[in-house]
A and B are shown apart, each in its own frame.
Chain A
Amino acid sequence: MADNKRIDEPTGTQTVGHEWDGIEELDTPMPRWWLIIFYATVVFAIVYTILYPAWPMIDRATAGVLGWSSHGELEKKLAEQEAQRAPIMSALSTTPVEKLVASPQLMDTAVEGGRSAFKVYCVQCHGSGAAGSKGYPNLNDDDWLWGGDITAIQQTLMHGIRQPGDDQTRMSQMPAFGRDGLLSSSEIQDVVSYVRFASKQEPASESAQRGRAIFANNCAVCHGADAKGDRQFGAPNLTDAIWLYGGDRNTITDTVTNSRYGIMPAWGGRLDPVTIKMLAAYVHSLGGGEGLPTSDVGAEPEAAPAPDESAGNVIAE
């Protein structure tokens, strides 16, 4: 069919020689610059395959004479990132955790760093939003077993809870009043009535009245005479709305009978101090963080000016 080439009269251009239902195609030559660019791309491709990894072999591609690799690129970028972060990381390691609040930039970095460390080490128990679950405290609320200011949180993180072998660990143990025969089951029911009365879940009753005396003799030593708990022993406040295991009669009965307590790893042995600081800052930032006890540092960070005058910290982007 290539024999049907002919010169098209009006344009003077040769046809390609195909014909479909009388329609023919002109073989218009390309402009020369177009061809030059085409050859340039061919040359580029050849040079590229020599310089960079290109040809697939059995288990890897040819390396390319420049020795470039995406792994190498990644390592370089990571090192750059590390170098860029070095100044703020060293500032974080020298600043005591209670002074972080004074520097919004450090605090911000610490919170963000803590957020990612939390996702790796803490979510297994406390959940990805730090909301906890039965037996694992919710870190967003304003109820703290061992203390909610930023140094107390750091202490808990460092030494854990009930970790044998760490002499600064948070330690206490609730007796199993029923199992060990310290209280009879009717006494337990009375003390449960009292606790439910104290937390406003039940009206006053005779049982609760009896329970008050039993509580004063057996429980007040840790939970306090007013049942508001004692952070020194990690003894929860029994009058508030927050129940780690549940505030219904059955659960409290079980708790008093068999005792309950949680444990938490001492992260001091596993994580570097900066990461722990960042975790403390993050947990503190979740909305329930408390101010430092006033005697601790000179400047009480949360004692801002009168509420309507307070203009808060700003994290500018």
Chain B
Amino acid sequence: MTGAEEKFFEARKKVFPRKVDGTFRRLKWVIMAVTLTIYYVTPWLRWDRGPYAPDQAVLIDLANRRFYMFSIEIWPNEFYYVVGLLVMAAIGLFLVTSAVGRAWCGYACPQTVWTDLFVHVERLVEGDRNAQIRLDKAPWTAKKIGKRALKYAIWLYIAAATGGAWIWYFADAPTLFMDFIHGSAPFAAYAAVGILTFTTFTLGGFMREQVCIYMCPWPRIQGAMMDEKSLGVTYKYWRGEPRTHGLKRSHAQPLTDLANGEKVGDCIDCNACVAVCPTGIDIREGPQIGCITCGLCIDACDEIMEKVGREPKLIGYATAADEALIREGKPTVSAKKRLLRPRTLIYFLLWAGVGLGMLFVLGNRDRIGIDVLQTRNPIWVRLADGSIRNTYTVKIRNMEARPRTVEIRVDGIDGVLWNEAGSREQATRSVRLKVPADKVAKTQIFVAAPGNGPKRTDVTFTVRALDQDMASATDQSFFERPEANR
């Protein structure tokens, strides 16, 4: 940006990343394959839960407010597990960022993965960097129109497949799939696919690095979480500078001091690292917000270093602390040591602690619940024989995928109880209730006790499942009487 003229806006500077091969490129292929497979395949996995629950392994059932994940089923009142997952995700990102910088950005972020996929499609249709630049400048001939149309068509197909896969997570995938192609799926399904197709197409095809630079808050947050011991993609200028120009000259003068006593650096200024960069920056200018640490410039530079017969990793993962050590002429610390330091260990222990805690609680939770709400209007009712009745709205949560008969009893008061299906004549000290599988049952419990007694008595309601596991739950309430007994 050197122009002195006043510009009201700035057009995107086009980036035409060149193809490259190497360790990090191959790592990115693997991660792309794994993440995309997880995304596309997960909703089609089946998991048998018996006749009363869906058999989709991962299902976010918004209508019935249930979240299924393999053997785990989460009810809305257990939302804290989701909070726990989010806490784990946050600590996990702290851990990764403090150890290896913006690794999330460079390898795993959906924006990066899909952009990478789109870039490959572009290369497949239009050719590599130079061909793309030529095509971009070329006039609109039939050939150019054809190529662009083909590229957009493939992009659109990927975008639609992306948006399409999203909705399978929210309903029974095979059923929804048939409904979807027959045009009888709910409007929300089509709207979701439409919106996600549009966003995937524009964000992956056109916005690309602009999302990371202008829109995403994450790079700013990460900047605050990295320290001088975090690994980052670094141009080792202490090795590379001063640059020589051209392959020939560097061959002619291997890594020695020039005759005039000037040192020659390893960088031959071939611009390979700039050409492969998906965000179009020059890593040799130092760490910058545009670098998502995808590692491609490392591969590109290694290729060159091999050709000119020099040590690889002129661009490589290094820390700011290493840089300082080298400038002082001291040996650097190995990457392994950098990864294992108090900060990362504390993050890891926190992360593992939350995870183990959640697993423990998940394994031991009771799949039954009770909520008791005392009727306050009227608080008490005097019955014909002089005894006092209190009324309670009781909700029983049967969180197992099977119907259960439960027994509700009240302790702490000498009374009998019945519900709307019974009557006082037949009342005993407990009420039985059938609760459908995976449902909440609501019932009115009437409790009658002698009229003489304290104004307020603490009572405990207990629900117990009358099946193999005998799970039980309790809730507290009060039994109240008029002030003075007439």
Q: Do A and B bind each other?
A: yes
When C-beta atoms are compared, the residue in chain B nearest to A312 turns out to be: B421
- Given contacts A129-B378, A138-B381, A313-B420, whether A308 and B9 have CB atoms under 8 Å apart is no
Complex contacts, A241 vs chain B, CB 8 Å: 382-386, 451, 486
> Which segment, of B54-62, B237-245, B266-274, B426-434, faces chain A?
B426-434
Task: Report the Cα distance A217→B486, complex, angstroms.
Answer: 30
- Say if the beta carbon of B189 comes within 8 Å of chain A: no
Contact indicator per residue, chain B 1-13, by CB within 8 Å of chain A (1) or not (0): 1111011111110
Task: Report the Cα distance A33→B12, complex, angstroms.
Answer: 8
Asked if A128 contacts B377 (CB within 8 A), the reply is: yes
Nearest-Cβ distance from residue A283 to partner chain B, whole angstroms: 13
When C-beta atoms are compared, the residue in chain B nearest to A242 turns out to be: B384
What are 22 A-B contacts with C-beta separation under 8 Å?
A7-B4, A14-B4, A27-B6, A30-B10, A31-B12, A32-B10, A127-B378, A129-B375, A129-B376, A240-B385, A247-B486, A302-B422, A304-B421, A307-B426, A309-B432, A310-B432, A311-B433, A313-B421, A315-B441, A315-B443, A316-B435, A317-B442
Complex contacts, A310 vs chain B, CB 8 Å: 421-422, 426, 432
Interface centre among B382, B391, B422, B435 (most CB of A within 10 A): B382
- Say if the beta carbon of A293 comes within 8 Å of chain B: no
Complex contacts, A131 vs chain B, CB 8 Å: 377-378, 381
A-B complex: 8 closest residue pairs judged by Cβ atoms = A312-B421, A129-B377, A131-B378, A241-B386, A240-B384, A29-B10, A140-B381, A29-B7
Complex contacts, A315 vs chain B, CB 8 Å: 441-443
Task: Report the Cα distance A317→B433, complex, angstroms.
Answer: 15
Complex contacts, A80 vs chain B, CB 8 Å: none
Asked if B6 contacts A14 (CB within 8 A), the reply is: yes
Complex contacts, A69 vs chain B, CB 8 Å: none
Asked if A142 contacts B383 (CB within 8 A), the reply is: yes
Nearest-Cβ distance from residue A288 to partner chain B, whole angstroms: 8
Given A285-B420, A302-B422, A308-B430, 4 further pairs, Cβ under 8 A: A32-B10, A141-B389, A290-B423, A307-B427
Task: Report the Cα distance A197→B392, complex, angstroms.
Answer: 35
Task: Report the Cα distance A313→B431, complex, angstroms.
Answer: 11
When C-beta atoms are compared, the residue in chain B nearest to A111 turns out to be: B420
When C-beta atoms are compared, the residue in chain A nearest to B437 turns out to be: A316
Complex contacts, B1 vs chain A, CB 8 Å: 11-13
Interface centre among B1, B3, B439 (most CB of A within 10 A): B1
Task: Report the Cα distance A29→B9, complex, angstroms.
Answer: 5
- Given contacts A11-B1, A307-B426, whether A31 and B420 have CB atoms under 8 Å apart is no
Asked if B378 contacts A312 (CB within 8 A), the reply is: no
- Say if the beta carbon of A1 comes within 8 Å of chain B: no
Task: Report the Cα distance A7→B1, complex, angstroms.
Answer: 11
Asked if A142 contacts B384 (CB within 8 A), the reply is: yes
Asked if B381 contacts A34 (CB within 8 A), the reply is: no
Interface centre among B376, B427, B433 (most CB of A within 10 A): B433
Complex contacts, A268 vs chain B, CB 8 Å: none
When C-beta atoms are compared, the residue in chain B nearest to A246 turns out to be: B486
The binding surface of chain A is classed by DSSP as: loop
Within 193-237 of A, Cβ neighbours of B (below 8 Å) are at: 237
Interface residue tally for chain B (C-beta within 8 Å): 53
Nearest-Cβ distance from residue B467 to partner chain A, whole angstroms: 13
- Say if the beta carbon of A35 comes within 8 Å of chain B: yes
Task: Report the Cα distance A129→B483, complex, angstroms.
Answer: 19
- Say if the beta carbon of B132 comes within 8 Å of chain A: no
- Say if the beta carbon of A190 comes within 8 Å of chain B: no
- Say if the beta carbon of B35 comes within 8 Å of chain A: no
Contact partner of B440 among A285, A287, A317, CB < 8 A? A317
Contact indicator per residue, chain B 352-388, by CB within 8 Å of chain A (1) or not (0): 0000000000000000000000011110011111100
- Say if the beta carbon of A98 comes within 8 Å of chain B: no
Nearest-Cβ distance from residue B294 to partner chain A, whole angstroms: 21
Nearest-Cβ distance from residue B199 to partner chain A, whole angstroms: 13
Asked if A141 contacts B382 (CB within 8 A), the reply is: yes
Task: Report the Cα distance A286→B2, complex, angstroms.
Answer: 82
- Given contacts A29-B8, A307-B427, whether A312 and B419 have CB atoms under 8 Å apart is yes
Complex contacts, A143 vs chain B, CB 8 Å: 383-384
Complex contacts, B426 vs chain A, CB 8 Å: 304, 307, 310
Task: Report the Cα distance A13→B1, complex, angstroms.
Answer: 7
Asked if A314 contacts B451 (CB within 8 A), the reply is: no
- Say if the beta carbon of B235 comes within 8 Å of chain A: no
- Say if the beta carbon of B424 comes within 8 Å of chain A: yes
Complex contacts, A316 vs chain B, CB 8 Å: 435-436, 439-442
- Say if the beta carbon of A291 comes within 8 Å of chain B: yes
Complex contacts, A308 vs chain B, CB 8 Å: 428, 430, 432
Task: Report the Cα distance A31→B12, complex, angstroms.
Answer: 7
Nearest-Cβ distance from residue B206 to partner chain A, whole angstroms: 8
Within 1-60 of A, Cβ neighbours of B (below 8 Å) are at: 7, 11-14, 27, 29-35
Task: Report the Cα distance A6→B228, complex, angstroms.
Answer: 35
Complex contacts, B440 vs chain A, CB 8 Å: 316-317
When C-beta atoms are compared, the residue in chain A nearest to B8 turns out to be: A29
Contact partner of B405 among A27, A31, A311, CB < 8 A? A311
Asked if A287 contacts B389 (CB within 8 A), the reply is: yes
Interface centre among A12, A129, A311 (most CB of B within 10 A): A311
Complex contacts, B442 vs chain A, CB 8 Å: 315-317
Complex contacts, B441 vs chain A, CB 8 Å: 314-317
Complex contacts, A31 vs chain B, CB 8 Å: 9-10, 12, 210, 214
Asked if A307 contacts B428 (CB within 8 A), the reply is: yes
Complex contacts, A34 vs chain B, CB 8 Å: 9, 214
- Say if the beta carbon of B444 comes within 8 Å of chain A: yes
Interface centre among B10, B210, B435 (most CB of A within 10 A): B10
Complex contacts, B375 vs chain A, CB 8 Å: 129
Interface centre among B395, B421, B444 (most CB of A within 10 A): B421
Within 143-170 of A, Cβ neighbours of B (below 8 Å) are at: 143
Task: Report the Cα distance A285→B434, complex, angstroms.
Answer: 19
- Say if the beta carbon of B155 comes within 8 Å of chain A: no
Task: Report the Cα distance A265→B308, complex, angstroms.
Answer: 106
Task: Report the Cα distance A315→B394, complex, angstroms.
Answer: 11
Task: Report the Cα distance A242→B439, complex, angstroms.
Answer: 40
Within 270-317 of A, Cβ neighbours of B (below 8 Å) are at: 285, 287-288, 290-291, 302, 304, 307-317
Complex contacts, B432 vs chain A, CB 8 Å: 308-312
Nearest-Cβ distance from residue B141 to partner chain A, whole angstroms: 26
Task: Report the Cα distance A22→B426, complex, angstroms.
Answer: 89
Task: Report the Cα distance A242→B486, complex, angstroms.
Answer: 11
- Say if the beta carbon of B446 comes within 8 Å of chain A: yes
Complex contacts, B207 vs chain A, CB 8 Å: 33
Task: Report the Cα distance A83→B458, complex, angstroms.
Answer: 47
Nearest-Cβ distance from residue A137 to partner chain B, whole angstroms: 12
